Chain A
Amino acid sequence: MASVRTQKEIRQRAPIWLVALLVTNLVIMAVDARDADGKHKMLRIWTQAFASPIQSASSKASGATTGFFQQIWNFRSTAQQNEQLKERLTQVEQELNTARQATTENERLKALLNLNETLDIRSVPARVIARDPSVWFNTITINRGSSSGVEPNMPVVTGGGIVGRVITVSPWASQVMLITDEKAGAGAVVGQLGQSGALGSVKGRADLGVALIEMRYVSGLEKVEVGDSVMTTGQDGIYPPGLNVGRVVDVKNGTATQAHQILIQPGAQLDHLEEVAVLLYHPPPRSVPEQTPQNAERPRR
């Protein structure tokens, strides 16, 4: 009888618990939505701080697991061949894969190093340790945080081009919003900075995924062609000028009153990111124009 009453009580109280938990979630959501700059996201920062060692370990383990399954597959496909030959082949394949990986990594790191020298901006090399656990967003987590000097809104790049900007920083890890996100954006120019007037802004679009980004507000009078390179202008207050964004892959020409519709393939391989660099870049402070015009009459005291 007692257990029946308990069940009945549970059934009666369930809506109250539901409302309480929903309201709690709603309050957290409202606070998080208000704090757009991400400096006070304590819950996010601490979850990241605890999750980053696990994500880092799983990132390493995933490479090993993939290799393991690859080996099993290789073993099955060559099962009828000579045992010694197969072992030798597997060894050679492993060595070759390791060498290839080392070469590719070497090239990527060289590109990052070159970028560092070209830009003359201090940078922190970082490894991608996780991707967004929900399917709805395109963020990545890197293994560098505030202890390495990383701050919110710092640009993240690879040798190929810009990747995105840091949105949340915990002591040992940071979350990066990719340039393909709808909320991400960068001031850009088609062609060389200072030579071209095709200025606009690039941002992601949900239906384009991570393969393409859109460039908006480029005057229809400017000449834009497929294959033109796109560079950052530095006017967004996040990315330094002169960084590669990508290459134009599609243009729908505008008119004198209508802007071009431009699609860009990002220079950085955003779906295969492994190593990136966080630029410890602080944009120059913007000069605030004086609010009152010079010829305006000032109130007399």
Chain B
Amino acid sequence: MSQVKIAVVLLLSILLQLSLREVWQPLSYVDFPLVVVVYIALQRDAWQALLVGTLAGLIIDAASGGLIGAGGFSKTLTAYVIYFAATKINLENPLLRIPVLAAGAVLDSVIYVFWHRLLGNPPAVPLMPTMSYKLIATTVVGTLALYMLDAVVSERVAQRRQFATRRRVARRSTGPLRRR
């Protein structure tokens, strides 16, 4: 995976997270950086997944009212858990990504709230309803976003596309007229 592409996607997800709440309040329940973290972890790229998780978490923490580092911690740990699962189980099937994304959203929320409560800085909203909304919004929007990321970032998809084009060109060059 191109590192430049990942950096651009990460930046875009952070910008969306920072600005979409102003457009429509329910959009704040979608955790765009988490979707990117899950995507990279599913590609079994441990180093990039961990680094992107930490960076995305820290930047969002710094712009929010919570503790700086709590989001970094939760996203890094979520990235590792998903990476670990992806190395043990085949999660290539697009349908399997949906429960992975949902589990990632729950794990991220639980760790985030746990640290805030432990350090005497409880969130301003109730845990269960907020976590449920976040789970639904992130899973629905994230599933679509993962398809888009596949098309834009994934080298495997690009290779498959190149291979299909080459095969089409090769078939044309060996058509009945040429054979004669």
Residues of A within 8 A of B (CB): 10-11, 13-15, 17-18, 21-22, 24-30, 32-33, 41, 43-44, 47-48, 51, 54-55, 58-59, 61-62, 65-66, 130-139, 141, 167, 175, 177-178, 180-183, 204, 206-207, 209, 271
Number of residue pairs across A and B with beta carbons under 8 Å?
Answer: 168
85-135 of chain B: CB within 8 A of chain A = 87, 112-113, 115-116, 119-126, 130, 133-134
Which single residue of chain A is at the shortest CB-CB distance from B133?
A135
B residues near A55, Cβ cutoff 8 Å: 18-19, 22
Contacts A29-B68, A54-B19 given: A133-B60 contact, CB under 8 Å?
yes
- Kindly identify which residue among A28, A175, A207 contacts B65, using a CB–CB cutoff of 8 Å: A175
B70 at the interface (CB under 8 A from A): yes
Which single residue of chain B is at the shortest CB-CB distance from A60?
B22
In the assembly, what is the distance between CA of A11 and CA of B54, in Å?
A: 19
State whether A33 touches B121 (Cβ < 8 A): yes
State whether B22 touches A136 (Cβ < 8 A): no
B21 at the interface (CB under 8 A from A): yes
55-91 of chain B: CB within 8 A of chain A = 57-73, 76-77, 80, 83, 87
B50 at the interface (CB under 8 A from A): yes
State whether A62 touches B66 (Cβ < 8 A): no
Interface residues of chain B: helix, strand, loop or mixed (majority): helix
A residues near B124, Cβ cutoff 8 Å: 136-138, 178, 180-182, 204, 206
Interface residues of chain A: helix, strand, loop or mixed (majority): helix
Contacts A62-B19, A136-B112 given: A131-B28 contact, CB under 8 Å?
yes
A residues near B116, Cβ cutoff 8 Å: 136
B17 at the interface (CB under 8 A from A): yes
State whether A25 touches B54 (Cβ < 8 A): yes
Which single residue of chain A is at the shortest CB-CB distance from B83?
A14
In the assembly, what is the distance between CA of A22 and CA of B51, in Å?
A: 11
State whether A29 touches B70 (Cβ < 8 A): yes
Interface size band for B:
35 or more
B4 at the interface (CB under 8 A from A): no
B residues near A209, Cβ cutoff 8 Å: 125
State whether A48 touches B22 (Cβ < 8 A): no
State whether A22 touches B18 (Cβ < 8 A): no
B169 at the interface (CB under 8 A from A): no
- Kindly identify which residue among A26, A27, A132, A183 contacts B121, using a CB–CB cutoff of 8 Å: A183
- Kindly identify which residue among B29, B122, B130 contacts A182, using a CB–CB cutoff of 8 Å: B122
Contacts A18-B50, A207-B126 given: A139-B64 contact, CB under 8 Å?
yes
B residues near A134, Cβ cutoff 8 Å: 28, 60-61, 64-66, 71, 112
A residues near B66, Cβ cutoff 8 Å: 134, 136-137
State whether A18 touches B80 (Cβ < 8 A): yes
Least CB distance from B11 to A in Å reads: 10
In the assembly, what is the distance between CA of A132 and CA of B21, in Å?
A: 8
B residues near A30, Cβ cutoff 8 Å: 69, 119
